[in-house]
């Protein structure tokens, strides 16, 4: 069966293809077009998925469509070219739930989906067992923990619905001094709307907080308070669960995932790496595979490198078209060796290899890399490349079989979806990556998930004695992660990156 999943149409549009019993492709529209969200189907993402699967619209057996859809949409007409396909429409949060549960390794789990407002439903809990997903409880907007987190984001001078991750990292520096006020807003799962006004808070909230506490220095404590409130809220939803699966935008919160992993209450925790609306395309396709067709076999997305790849000739053509001087690296040892040589000299390296990742996190194919031996790596990455505050830290990538030597972390480090702690002997070594309290974002890399990146880490370890690299997404501030060689060249020459290793080629400044 060939299943085309489409989701996030109104925000974070994406397409996914399941063919011959495996996930063949998963692509976000905005990464391809470098443009605003589509008002209709993500045609470019769909075309890319079909091309990677070597299929035509006539080969598709099912189109799995995750709601909501734009009002007055022409989508039914656009789907007419899928002549033999059965169209299956799936609720937004059900697609979120399917993306988490069916992509997890669990045969039984409590599934929690949470976002800002979704399709009126802003949260739900589900019981997953075998192929079945059963809705247990739903939460309707405006009783939304995601919306409450967004209001605090706005209160702290950041963009709601896009910069909640900044609040998350800021929270590591504070204490939950104001949690009682946030807890007072929540009664069970009902939210006292008298605390809210517009997209922010009302005078009732500020009175409860105390106007004297609105000092700039208290920002970290507001962040810590809403973070702890979120963690306690989700912990209550997961009460009594054997395993927990998470999806929806709230599941991007790595500190929340770590809190669940470290609680000791659950046998396993799985956070969907593409937890946002783009992930509903994957959830919709998996829903058809398991729920509609009844297949029991789980389809592992591996390292989530499910997007387009570019051949050596395609990369070379772009470099030559841009009149660039480049060096050919014919073999894998030469590719990894060139990158290691740059990193050993404390140079920042852009690394573009293989297929683009699905989801917001760089997992070793569209990454910017730095050496942990460089005492200025964090400042250089933040100031000259990402143009963001120095308090923001970067992930530490390490081969999974060696991770325990340096870090304590959970299973979700496979997809950079959690945080770990640095072991005592290495705290000074990784000082540049530590958020606070020895917390660090850890990315464990296996040979199966990403063989080339795994080899690079081992090569760096052989050369320096430390098989760990700092890793952040290959993009400029506020832009999508790069997809094509042309995207990579533009970002390389518009930033403070020192070298670019793209496929079998090296560019240096």
262/101 Cα distance (integer angstroms):
20
SS3 of 392, please? coil
Tokens of 96: 């979120």
CA distance 93 to 123: 7
- Record the pTM: 0.95
pLDDT in tens, 125-162: 999 999 999 999 999 999 999 999 999 999 999 999 88
Contacts for 424 with CB less than 8 Å, ≥ 6 apart: none
- Rounded-to-integer distance, Cα 182 and Cα 191, Å: 10
Predicted local distance difference test score (pLDDT) of residue 38: 65
Compute the distance between CA of residue 77 and CA of residue 491 in angstroms, rounded to an integer: 38
- Along the 509 residues of the chain, how does pLDDT read in single tens digits? 999 999 999 889 999 999 999 999 999 999 999 987 766 899 999 999 999 999 999 999 999 999 988 776 778 778 889 999 999 999 999 999 999 999 999 999 999 999 988 678 999 999 999 999 999 999 999 999 999 999 999 999 999 988 999 999 999 999 999 999 999 999 888 999 999 999 899 999 999 988 666 676 789 999 999 999 999 999 999 999 999 999 999 999 999 999 999 999 999 999 999 999 999 999 999 999 999 999 999 999 999 999 999 999 999 999 999 999 999 999 999 999 999 999 999 999 999 999 999 999 999 999 999 999 998 787 777 777 776 766 678 899 999 999 999 999 999 999 999 999 999 999 999 998 998 889 999 999 999 999 999 999 999 999 999 999 999 999 987 789 999 999 999 999 999 899 999 999 999 99
* Helix/strand/coil percent split, the chain, to 5: 40, 25, 40
pLDDT value, residue 253? 97
Report the phi/psi class of residue 478: left, alpha or beta, with left for phi > 0 and alpha for psi in -120 to 50.
left
Q: HEC string of 322-348?
A: CCCCCEECCCHHHHHHHHHHHHHCCCC
Sorted by where each starts, the structural domains of the chain and their CATH numbers stand as 2-94+280-292 (3.30.420.40), 106-271 (3.30.420.40), 312-508 (3.90.870.20)
CB 34 within 8 A of CB 72: no
Give 283's strand partners: none
**pLDDT confidence of residue 214:** 65
Q: 335-391, pLDDT tens digit by residue?
A: 999 999 999 999 999 999 999 999 999 999 999 999 999 987 877 777 777 767 666
């Amino acid at each position: 069966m060939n299943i085309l999943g489409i989701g996030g149409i109104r925000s974070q549009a994406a397409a996914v293809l399941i063919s011959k019993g495996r996930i063949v492709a998963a692509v976000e529209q905005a990464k391809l077009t470098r443009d605003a969200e589509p008002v209709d189907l993500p045609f470019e993402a769909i075309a890319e998925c079909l091309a990677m699967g070597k299929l035509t619209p006539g080969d598709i057996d099912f189109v799995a469509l995750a709601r909501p859809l734009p009002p007055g949409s022409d989508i039914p007409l656009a789907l007419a070219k899928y002549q033999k396909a059965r169209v299956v429409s799936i609720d937004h949060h059900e697609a979120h739930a399917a993306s988490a549960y069916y992509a997890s390794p669990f045969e039984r789990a409590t599934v929690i989906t949470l976002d800002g407002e979704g399709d009126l439903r802003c949260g739900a809990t589900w019981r997953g067992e075998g192929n079945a997903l059963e809705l247990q409880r739903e939460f309707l907007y405006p009783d939304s923990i995601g919306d409450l987190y967004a209001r605090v984001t706005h209160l702290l001078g950041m963009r709601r619905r896009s910069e909640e991750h900044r609040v998350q990292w800021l929270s590591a520096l504070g204490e939950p001094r104001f949690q009682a006020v946030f807890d007072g807003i929540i009664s069970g799962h009902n939210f006292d709307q008298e605390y809210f006004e517009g997209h922010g808070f009302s005078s009732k909230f500020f009175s409860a907080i105390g106007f004297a506490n609105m000092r700039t220095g208290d920002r970290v404590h507001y962040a810590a308070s809403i973070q702890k409130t979120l963690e306690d809220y989700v912990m209550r939803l997961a009460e009594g669960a054997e395993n927990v699966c998470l999806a929806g935008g709230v599941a991007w919160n790595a500190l929340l995932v770590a809190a669940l992993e470290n609680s000791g209450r659950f046998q396993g925790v799985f956070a969907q790496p593409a937890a946002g609306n783009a992930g509903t395309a994957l959830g919709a396709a998996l829903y058809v595979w398991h729920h509609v067709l009844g297949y029991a076999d789980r389809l592992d997305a591996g390292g989530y490198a499910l997007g387009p790849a570019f051949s050596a000739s395609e990369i070379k053509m772009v470099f030559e078209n841009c009149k660039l001087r480049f060096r050919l690296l014919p073999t894998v040892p030469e590719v990894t060796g060139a990158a290691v040589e740059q990193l050993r000299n404390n140079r920042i390296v852009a690394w573009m290899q293989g297929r683009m990742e699905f989801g917001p996190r760089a997992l070793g194919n569209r990454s910017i890399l730095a050496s942990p031996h460089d005492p200025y790596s964090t400042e250089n990455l933040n100031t000259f490349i990402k143009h963001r505050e120095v308090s923001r830290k970067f992930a530490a990538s390490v081969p999974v079989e060696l991770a325990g030597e340096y870090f304590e972390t959970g299973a979700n480090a496979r997809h950079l979806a959690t945080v770990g702690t640095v072991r005592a002997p290495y705290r000074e070594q990784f000082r540049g990556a530590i958020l606070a309290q020895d917390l660090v974002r850890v990315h464990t890399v296996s040979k199966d998930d990403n063989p080339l990146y795994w080899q690079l880490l081992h090569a760096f370890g052989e050369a320096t004695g430390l098989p760990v690299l700092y890793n952040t997404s290959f993009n400029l501030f506020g832009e999508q992660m790069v997809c094509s060689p042309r995207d990579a060249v533009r970002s390389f020459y518009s930033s403070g990156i020192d070298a670019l290793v793209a496929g079998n080629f090296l560019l240096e400044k």
